[in-house]
A and B are shown apart, each in its own frame.
Chain A
Amino acid sequence: MTDPQSAPRVIRRLVVGFHDAAGSSSALEATVRLARTMESQLLGIFVEDAPLLEWSSSPLTRQVGRGVRPGGTFTPDTLAADFATAAAMMRERLARLAGGVGLTAGFRVARTSASSLDFDGREPGDLLVVVEPTDPMARLSYPFAGLLQTIARTSVPVLYMPHRVLQRRGPVVSIAPRPDDPGQRLAAEVAATIGEDLLNLPPPAHGSSPGVGGPLSLQDLSRALSGVRERLLVLSRPTLPADDPCLFASIATQRMVPTLVAGTGKNGDPTA
């Protein structure tokens, strides 16, 4: 087991982003528990999607409601009110979960593109957390689908929380092309912080046998991880295939483990 005292503290705050009122409770709870384990601060950011607000002044706006929510047209005012309601709900949910483990969560509302990872007030030591919606349709639609692309392109570390998370002990598994990969260093930091072993695996080659480098497929990754009961997965962006940069989300959802995406991809945009 890694000694948490020996590793420097790189992650000091988990910043959780919300875009609507459909974030997974399981994922959010796992995030809060992780923050508690890492003894880090917790900040929730509700993003009011600026492009959607802009579009809401169009005469064509009509909303198709989910569940008991009726459909109908919306205006900038009603959309702003809906954003405020959703933000309040998420603030309350985050506060309740955080209070349950003795944490106090900050909360902020930002108006920006919901498919970007930009927000004001970012600080060194922040780890962005993206919570997967429970609703498959929300996962496939704008802005979440765009957000996945952004995560794949950016160079900043992002923790992807699948909508179902298994709460268990186990090693932190890092898959990186090189030992000096930023993802591997971050994995070591996280493992030390949460008191778990670190298991470094080379990226499996496309096909059956492990090798060095090369794009991954979901099947390759699943095979490489069979028999491992990891607590957290760290994927280096260079290992993500160009034709499926959102593989991190698929593997996280399939294995129900938080997946940290780090490093700069081949087509990465360090400023994204």
Chain B
Amino acid sequence: MEAPQPLERERLALRCDLSGLAFGTTADLSDVDLMVAQDRASAAIDFGAEVSAPGFNLFVVGASPDSLDEAVKALLEDRARSAPPPSDWVYLNNFAEPHKPIAMELPPGRGPGFRDAMRALVQDLKVALPAAFESDDYQARRTVIEQAFSQKQEAAFKALQEEATAADIAVIRTPFGFTLAPMKDGQVLRPEAFNELPEATRNRVHETIQGLEKKLEAILRSVPVWDKQRRMDLRKLGQETTENAVGHLIDELKAPFADLPKVLGHLEHVRTDLVDNVGLFIPQQGGEENQEGDAVVVAPFDRYEVNLLVTRPEGEGAPVVQELHPSLSNLVGRIEHVSRQGVLITDFRLIKPGALHRANGGYLLLDARSVLTEPFAWTALKRGLKAQQIRIESAVDLLSLTSTISLEPDPIPLGLKIVLFGERRLYYLLAALDPEFREHFKVLADFDDAVDRKDDAEVTYARLVATLARAKQLAPLDRDAVARVVDRAARLAGDAAKLTLAVEKIGDLLVEAEYWAKKDGAPIIRAADVDRAIAEQIRRASRIRERSQEAILRDIALVDTSGSAVGQINGLSVLELGGFMFGRPTRITARVSPGAGKVVDIEREVELGGPIHSKGVLILSGFLSGRYALEAPISLQASLVFEQSYGGVDGDSASSAELYALLSALAEVPLRQDLAVTGSVNQHGTVQAIGGVNEKIEGFFDICRARGLTGSQGVLIPEANVQHLMLREDVIEACAEGRFAVYPVATVDQGLALMTGSPVGERGPDGTFAEGTVNRLVEDRLATFAKARRSVVGEAGARELGGRVT
């Protein structure tokens, strides 16, 4: 088995080649659609936007959904411009049931005219009605009615009074009624004087008073009847006066809305209401108590206002609305209240539209996470989509926190496209956990995280960089700067064959590069500015990385970068903190002894290892059994540990390193400590691809460089990961100069050969490994363990216990 050779410089990174594109700076490049290379997602959006059937709403997913909304919004706005504008909607007072305002649909753009016309009507009414009721004609007719009422009372009362006066009896007003008392010389008789009268006289007076009282009671009983007649006459007079005063105003108002029967119907209701409730609109005049008493009164003419909920001028197409704060009230609208005399009141004019109203007939863009984290918003959204209507709900009502009388406005028909933006994980979670989700969001627009770096992808990407720079009003980039940005895009994609489509990160890089260019007084962004921006981004985030490296360099965290040792190897792990990834070497050790065939994952035993890591370790047992335990069960007790690891460990990228350490311990063959290893392994000994390969290589390189590059140091990576390499320039330079090396490894045997410097050996025709090979040493050691085990538990016990993996 030949040990792998170091990779050549060309394979350590794929540098951008813009030779096919003639330009000086990005100012020379034309814009490119931000939906570049998103054919699948674009088609999904087109499909979702065009299908009108219910439920075909869109869920847009991508690695960084925040950067997608602008592109999708632009796409939808383009489509919406040529779409017919939606209807205007107004809320009107329901004269029969004021707590149930009426929603009225109007042709696009007609709402403001209706609202203004009603406002003008109200202004006219404020003048016309009082004038009519102050007119001499009205006053004269009213006086006749009032006088008729008064005269009835006066006539009856005067007759009584004359009779009383003739009998020397006074009719006296008390605080709450009347009483009768004997008089003498026009004055009420004192009780003492009355008592001095002869008894016959007193009795006669008493009888007279009793008779008069009965008559007075009869008069008082008649008064409400007369008063009722008076009120009816006054009401009729008021209705006639109102009809005469406002009839022509309403008739004039009908003309511009002759084509809208609903408006005409409402105007008739206004006319009827005015006539029926005229008492509310005119100043109260003498003798008429305010009908409302102490009740909370709003301006009476407000009832004729028009609450223009949504309108869209003709020619503007369908709306595209993005709601950044999709709370319940911001989605479905709300009913506001005002405080009057310490009481919260509301009416139809205080109904405020939500995003669903504003976007009705068009598109509503929402961040899925925001909708899900706002109380009641998600369920309200689904309810609206299911019922296909917008019903205003408030969280307070839903929780029954108050018993305030509120409104029940007519629901408004809902017909729009909802476009949710979110992470893939969120989409799949909703699809799995919310049974209604798929009913309402049938169209998935899945944005690729990266574009293949083939053909003219780099050229297109250069135009994307130019587009971003212009969109952010940044200085142009020169050719080399663009190339650096493209290289960075590949590195962010974690793949030399891909370019990231997380344009937000690229946009941020451009902003930072311009900052450094300006600091340097440069009118354009140069390659050095991009490099500086990248370096500063890393520097800002690298405090933890530096502390980690410092611990290794000060021998606090033990990692050797030279020499060799049995059962000990440098594994590589990746830490991601706040979006910044870096690699760091970790010592992995293995100890072996005769036992029951158990490979102990110490990380798992102390619950620091995740399931994938445990799986990787268990695979090692499979590899050992398959390769070495052909005749007898493995009688091995082995333990594996990530030394000085105090946090959780997950992933299987260290499984090849663990296997090398285990085999080294079994064979008692030392492993090189100037190499570090990454890669997972399967039961057949094939080394498989892992993630974060660039960061892992650079992590070990940084430690070696700090200690002094010896020329023998390097990293073993899975051969399948070579295509992902986009290493730092300093790493590439060191490799090119032979001071560092990256070895592609396809099998465990290749890696073992490199790590041990010894022949690994293959099983010969006689079924055994050649003497002196690593595999022979491993198998012999396992045989020794099996023998030792048999001596302790016997043949049967060894068979029974052997080979069991726990």
Interface set of A (CB-CB < 8 Å, partner B):
19-22, 24-27, 51-52, 54-55, 57-58, 60-66, 69, 71, 74, 79, 82-83, 85-86, 133-138, 140-144, 162-168, 254, 256
The docked-state distance in angstroms from the alpha carbon of A69 to that of B217 is: 12
Q: Give the Cβ gap from A31 to chain B, nearest Cβ, in Å.
A: 12
Closest to B161 in A: A140
The docked-state distance in angstroms from the alpha carbon of A164 to that of B157 is: 21
Q: What are 9 inter-chain pairs, A to B, with CB distance below 8 A?
A: A24-B286, A51-B188, A52-B174, A55-B188, A62-B209, A82-B174, A134-B287, A136-B150, A164-B146
Residue pair B213, A62 in contact (C-beta under 8 Å): yes
Residue pair B217, A74 in contact (C-beta under 8 Å): no
Residue pair A140, B188 in contact (C-beta under 8 Å): no
The docked-state distance in angstroms from the alpha carbon of A64 to that of B211 is: 12
Residue pair B178, A52 in contact (C-beta under 8 Å): no
Residue pair B286, A137 in contact (C-beta under 8 Å): no
Of B158, B176, B206, B289, which one neighbours A86 at CB under 8 angstroms? B176
Q: Give the Cβ gap from B12 to chain A, nearest Cβ, in Å.
A: 87
| Residue B414, interface by CB 8 Å | no
Residue pair B178, A51 in contact (C-beta under 8 Å): no
Of B161, B219, B286, which one neighbours A165 at CB under 8 angstroms? B286
| Residue B170, interface by CB 8 Å | yes
Set of chain B residues within 8 Å of A83, measured between Cβ atoms: 175
Residue pair B286, A27 in contact (C-beta under 8 Å): yes
Residue pair B154, A61 in contact (C-beta under 8 Å): no
Of B143, B146, B174, B194, which one neighbours A20 at CB under 8 angstroms? B174
| Residue B283, interface by CB 8 Å | yes
Known contacts A137-B153, A167-B283; decide if A20 and B188 are in contact (CB<8 Å). Answer: no
Closest to B190 in A: A54
Residue pair B191, A57 in contact (C-beta under 8 Å): yes
Residue pair A64, B213 in contact (C-beta under 8 Å): yes
| Residue B288, interface by CB 8 Å | yes
| Residue B550, interface by CB 8 Å | no
Residue pair A143, B174 in contact (C-beta under 8 Å): no
The docked-state distance in angstroms from the alpha carbon of A69 to that of B179 is: 13
Across the A-B interface, give the 4 residue pairs with the lowest CB-CB distance, nearest first. A164-B286, A26-B286, A86-B175, A58-B191
The docked-state distance in angstroms from the alpha carbon of A136 to that of B139 is: 19
Of B153, B181, B191, which one neighbours A136 at CB under 8 angstroms? B153
Residue pair A137, B191 in contact (C-beta under 8 Å): no
| Residue B418, interface by CB 8 Å | no
Set of chain B residues within 8 Å of A167, measured between Cβ atoms: 283
Set of chain B residues within 8 Å of A71, measured between Cβ atoms: 177, 217
CB contacts under 8 Å to A, within B186-206, are 187-191, 194, 205-206
The docked-state distance in angstroms from the alpha carbon of A140 to that of B180 is: 14
The docked-state distance in angstroms from the alpha carbon of A25 to that of B293 is: 12
Residue pair B154, A136 in contact (C-beta under 8 Å): yes
Of B154, B177, B209, B285, which one neighbours A140 at CB under 8 angstroms? B154
| Residue B284, interface by CB 8 Å | yes
CB contacts under 8 Å to A, within B612-645, are none
The docked-state distance in angstroms from the alpha carbon of A86 to that of B176 is: 8
The docked-state distance in angstroms from the alpha carbon of A20 to that of B153 is: 19
The docked-state distance in angstroms from the alpha carbon of A162 to that of B150 is: 14
Closest to B189 in A: A55
Set of chain B residues within 8 Å of A165, measured between Cβ atoms: 285-286
Of A65, A141, A166, which one neighbours B171 at CB under 8 angstroms? A141
Residue pair A141, B161 in contact (C-beta under 8 Å): yes
| Residue B697, interface by CB 8 Å | no
| Residue B173, interface by CB 8 Å | yes
Closest to A25 in B: B289
The docked-state distance in angstroms from the alpha carbon of A162 to that of B287 is: 9
Residue pair A20, B288 in contact (C-beta under 8 Å): no
The docked-state distance in angstroms from the alpha carbon of A71 to that of B216 is: 11
The docked-state distance in angstroms from the alpha carbon of A256 to that of B181 is: 33
Of A60, A65, A85, A142, which one neighbours B173 at CB under 8 angstroms? A142
Residue pair A163, B286 in contact (C-beta under 8 Å): yes
Q: Give the Cβ gap from A160 to chain B, nearest Cβ, in Å.
A: 13
The docked-state distance in angstroms from the alpha carbon of A64 to that of B181 is: 12
